Chains A and B, each alone.
Chain A
Amino acid sequence: MMRLELVKRPQRSALFSMLSPFIAFALTIIAGAVLFALLGVNPLTAFRIYFVEPISQVWQLHELAIKAAPLILIAVGLSVCYKANIWNIGAEGQFIFGAIFGSILPVLFPQFEGPLVLPLMLLCGMVGGAAYAAIPAMLKTRFGTNEILTSLMLVYVAQLFLDWLVRGPWRDPQGHGFPQTIQFGDSAVLPELMPDAGRANWGFVFALVAAVLVWILMGRMLKGFEVRVLGSSPRAGRFAGFGLNRMVFFAFLLSGALAGLAGICEVSGAIGQLQPVISPGYGFTAIIVAFLGRLNPLGIIAAGLVLALTYLGGEAVQSALGISDKVVRVFQGMLLFFVLGCDTLIHYRIRVIGLALTKQDSAAKLEAAPKLKEAR
């Protein structure tokens, strides 16, 4: 019987801390090659179509930025939560509520135009996302309710609420019965960065700014220290006078606001109106982005681009090879698996114990014996 044994490293390995996302990506590629081979497609062809062709022209890079922006915005917020050991997995719902709140102005008051519209919409989006995230935060701090389950349940509620809005009260009366709101007016559309080159809009800039700001917050400011202390040892945090309840609210409101911003940017920039479905699961994919980026905002920028590419590649293989676009989710799921597995290497060495390794085992015991004495 073969078995794995973990041996704790004296310190966390700086080498594997750097390498683990890359090893994980390499393993995903290998597993992906097997998957494509099983589907009867030459893996090399598939990979060319999946990873290279979608980013070989300038306008395609703009599409990449459009997909990466919401992923980075959401994941940056989630990274703060996860560092604090707070599990917000309802970013998808906060994204939707940000989109809904942000759309109040262009949908209900389309006659209101001018340069003020867009900033107000973005602000409303952030407020909407934060307000929706405040629900699980409030339930956790007031009643001790598990935030994982409540934040997730609220995703379903948000999806149904949006569905009701665009089919019911907010439906475009001139829309021939299609479930969608009116097209946003010109002053409510997020401008494109370089209209001549491609569609990428200011959302990508917001994402980069948010990532840098949170990076400064986490690395250079007391609040970031508080997040990390409370995350690794709530007891130590209490002695230092850091409030756990305040931290729950801080993490949820911050991540909710960023998810809400992502939501309104997506609707105002990429779509231009509200529809029953406005996200291909950005809120869940962002969880993978956060972990692939090692919960570091700058790493998250890179990870966001990688995951954005998996979306574009999925569309590409679907149209070129007729493979289901569900392959995207499979890739993303595998990637997260491998990332988590490789992270083990940071804290542990892995020994594979086979049948004939008794000699090494006894050597290890000899090695451990003096340490035991020291410990006493």
Chain B
Amino acid sequence: MDITVNILLTIATAATPLLIAAIGELVVERSGVLNLGVEGMMIMGAVAGFGAGYLTGSPWIGLLAAIAMGALFSLLFAVMTLSLATNQVATGLSLTLLGLGLSGMMGTSFVGQPGVRLPNLDIPGLSSIPIVGKLIFGQDPIFYISIALTAAVTWFLFKTRTGLTLRSIGDSHTSAHALGIKVIRYRYLAVIFGGACAGLAGGHLSLVYTPQWVENMSAGRGWIALALVVFASWRPWRVLAGAYIFGAVWIGQLHAQAFGIPVPSQMLSSLPYLATVVVLVLISRNKRLTMMNTPASLGQPFVPDR
């Protein structure tokens, strides 16, 4: 029983960064912007989170630094694509390339240093209930943030007027503009929100998942988060389901490697990436589902005419 609980706990830890980054990107894409820089913002969040935590000794300051760095870095993307109307695909790619380089440079002195870890929640009495205690009351704080974030984004997108406006911008920025909605302002805020989420996801990697700094430690999770948004057909709760499936694949291959299953470890390591491809194929086969949910103006540059 304990083993099962432990495996579930590690799955949740593996799924949380994917979930947070994907939820952020979901809001960005719902506003009609495709930011392929998730991997870059995530790794910047990871290095900032580790650095601030390591230098101040407080993981909470590290967490704030990770969020701030993600938001700041996404601002670069926002200025380029929204104010200068550059190609979103290419700009997102360059954000990732720059993020991987900058984080590597900033982190040179952090390599091999011991990091700080965010403490797990510990409520006397509740956390020690067998089985459910640890799962519900004993996880790291970011786990709870990720669940709350999913609920909040669902409520925001589908139950508030501002959320409706945001979705309308994603479906037709020209119509929204004609209605007098400040398209660019909404999109700026959405992109920065997405950046903050990616930064938080990165902070989870370097403050909870493996509290140390390793170059390229995001290992393609930013890209998997992007795939999750497509997989979830832009619905928050489906993103959560997808993130946990991927968390399970990630943990499953690690356990399989540890058990010494007679399959080369490299093949097991490539499973999450192959699973991403398979999942994308399965979901895109259903043309109607994709057509109905894809924000119609996704990825198209918008220059307001005056």
Q: Which positions in A face B, CB cutoff 8 Å?
A: 3-6, 8, 87, 89, 139, 143-146, 148-150, 152-154, 156-157, 160-161, 163-164, 167-168, 284, 287-288, 291, 324, 326-334, 336-337, 340-341, 343-344, 348, 350, 364, 368
Which of these, A4, A144, A150, contacts B84 with CB under 8 Å?
A: A4
B266 touches A161 (CB 8 A): yes
Task: Kindly state whether residue B152 has any CB partner on chain A within 8 Å.
Answer: no
A337-B276 contact, Cβ under 8 Å, with A168-B264, A330-B105: no
B80 touches A149 (CB 8 A): no
Cα distance, A161 to B269, chains bound together (Å): 10
Cα distance, A156 to B253, chains bound together (Å): 15
Task: Kindly state whether residue B126 has any CB partner on chain A within 8 Å.
Answer: no
Q: Which among A8, A152, A334 has the greatest number of chain B C-beta atoms within 10 A?
A: A152
A161 touches B270 (CB 8 A): yes
Which of these, A157, A168, A287, A344, contacts B273 with CB under 8 Å?
A: A157
Give the Cβ gap from B80 to chain A, nearest Cβ, in Å.
6
Using Cβ atoms and an 8 Å threshold, which residues of chain A touch B108?
324, 326
Using Cβ atoms and an 8 Å threshold, which residues of chain B touch A8?
303
Using Cβ atoms and an 8 Å threshold, which residues of chain B touch A3?
83
Which of these, B83, B98, B306, contacts A337 with CB under 8 Å?
A: B98
B223 touches A160 (CB 8 A): no
Give the Cβ gap from B134 to chain A, nearest Cβ, in Å.
32
A143 touches B284 (CB 8 A): yes
B100 touches A329 (CB 8 A): yes
Cα distance, A348 to B302, chains bound together (Å): 13
A340 touches B87 (CB 8 A): yes
Cα distance, A142 to B131, chains bound together (Å): 46
Using Cβ atoms and an 8 Å threshold, which residues of chain B touch A6?
83-85, 303
A143-B281 contact, Cβ under 8 Å, with A4-B84, A89-B93: yes
Q: Which positions in B face A, CB cutoff 8 Å?
A: 36, 76, 80, 83-87, 89-91, 93-95, 97-102, 104-105, 108, 220, 223, 226-227, 230, 264, 266-267, 269-270, 273-274, 276-277, 280-281, 284-285, 287, 290, 303, 306
Using Cβ atoms and an 8 Å threshold, which residues of chain B touch A328?
101
B86 touches A344 (CB 8 A): yes
Using Cβ atoms and an 8 Å threshold, which residues of chain B touch A149?
223, 226-227, 230, 276-277, 280
Cα distance, A341 to B266, chains bound together (Å): 39
Using Cβ atoms and an 8 Å threshold, which residues of chain A touch B267?
160, 164
Cα distance, A145 to B100, chains bound together (Å): 26
Give the Cβ gap from A370 to chain B, nearest Cβ, in Å.
15
A329-B280 contact, Cβ under 8 Å, with A156-B220, A324-B105: no
Give the Cβ gap from A135 to chain B, nearest Cβ, in Å.
8
B284 touches A160 (CB 8 A): no
Residue of B nearest to A329 (CB): B101
A148 touches B36 (CB 8 A): yes
Top 7 A-B pairs, shortest CB-CB distance: A329-B101, A333-B98, A326-B104, A336-B94, A164-B266, A330-B101, A160-B266
Cα distance, A348 to B135, chains bound together (Å): 55
A145 touches B89 (CB 8 A): no
Q: Is the interface of B mostly helix, strand, loop or mixed?
A: helix
Using Cβ atoms and an 8 Å threshold, which residues of chain A touch B101?
326-333
A/B interface sample: 5 pairs, CB < 8 A: A145-B277, A337-B76, A337-B91, A343-B86, A344-B85
Using Cβ atoms and an 8 Å threshold, which residues of chain B touch A146?
230, 280, 284
Cα distance, A290 to B98, chains bound together (Å): 17
Give the Cβ gap from A76 to chain B, nearest Cβ, in Å.
17
Using Cβ atoms and an 8 Å threshold, which residues of chain A touch B94?
288, 333, 336-337, 340
B98 touches A330 (CB 8 A): yes
Cα distance, A287 to B95, chains bound together (Å): 13
A341-B86 contact, Cβ under 8 Å, with A145-B281, A149-B230: yes
Give the Cβ gap from B65 to chain A, nearest Cβ, in Å.
18
Cα distance, A144 to B105, chains bound together (Å): 38
A340 touches B86 (CB 8 A): yes
Cα distance, A3 to B182, chains bound together (Å): 14
Cα distance, A324 to B89, chains bound together (Å): 28
A164 touches B303 (CB 8 A): no
A340-B90 contact, Cβ under 8 Å, with A4-B84, A6-B303, A328-B101: yes
Cα distance, A371 to B98, chains bound together (Å): 43
Using Cβ atoms and an 8 Å threshold, which residues of chain A touch B220?
152-153, 156
Cα distance, A103 to B105, chains bound together (Å): 34
Using Cβ atoms and an 8 Å threshold, which residues of chain B touch A327?
101, 105
Using Cβ atoms and an 8 Å threshold, which residues of chain B touch A350?
84
Cα distance, A156 to B250, chains bound together (Å): 14
Using Cβ atoms and an 8 Å threshold, which residues of chain B touch A324?
104-105, 108
Using Cβ atoms and an 8 Å threshold, which residues of chain B touch A337?
76, 80, 91, 94, 98
B98 touches A287 (CB 8 A): no
Using Cβ atoms and an 8 Å threshold, which residues of chain B touch A145?
277, 280-281, 284
Using Cβ atoms and an 8 Å threshold, which residues of chain A touch B100?
329, 333
Give the Cβ gap from A118 to chain B, nearest Cβ, in Å.
29
Using Cβ atoms and an 8 Å threshold, which residues of chain A touch B303?
6, 8, 348
Cα distance, A8 to B290, chains bound together (Å): 33
A160 touches B270 (CB 8 A): yes
A143 touches B270 (CB 8 A): no
Knowing that A6-B303, A160-B269, A329-B97 are A-B contacts, what are 16 other residue pairs whose CB atoms are under 8 Å apart, sorted by A's residue number?
A6-B83, A146-B280, A149-B226, A150-B280, A153-B277, A154-B273, A154-B277, A160-B266, A160-B267, A167-B266, A329-B102, A330-B105, A332-B101, A333-B94, A336-B93, A336-B94
Using Cβ atoms and an 8 Å threshold, which residues of chain B touch A160?
266-267, 269-270
Using Cβ atoms and an 8 Å threshold, which residues of chain A touch B270?
156-157, 160-161
Residue of B nearest to A145 (CB): B284
